[in-house]
A = this chain, B = another copy of it.
Amino acid sequence: MPRVAIDVLLKRELLDPQGRATERALPDLGFDGVRDVRIGKHLELEVDAEGEDLAARVEAMCAGFLTNPVVEAYRWRVIAEDERADAAA
């Protein structure tokens, strides 16, 4: 079954307070030169579908349940096992 990664952020025209707070804290921690920090959700899941059926189901889940399309934007992709964010290092 293909594994899908979904990234969700607040729409770009909206203030992201968590990102802004992180951006302001970084210089005090010794990390300069970091800009435009946005923080949202990352989801990974396996879906029992392929091709256009997979795309239709992922889009329906994202639009109907996993994200709030009024204020959030998302992007998804199929990932390989070694591209999991929790793949063993």
Residues of A within 8 A of B (CB): 1, 3, 5, 7-12, 19, 22-23, 25-26, 29, 31-49, 57, 60-61, 64-66, 73-75, 83-89
The count of identical subunits is: 2
Do the beta carbons of B45 and A86 come within 8 Å of each other? no
In Å, the complex CA distance between A32 and B23 comes to: 39
Do the beta carbons of A35 and B45 come within 8 Å of each other? yes
Please give the distance in Å from A75's CB to the nearest CB on chain B: 4
Please give the distance in Å from A80's CB to the nearest CB on chain B: 12
Cβ of A87: which chain B residues have Cβ within 8 Å of it?
Answer: 73, 75
Please give the distance in Å from A69's CB to the nearest CB on chain B: 10
Cβ of A61: which chain B residues have Cβ within 8 Å of it?
Answer: 26, 31, 34
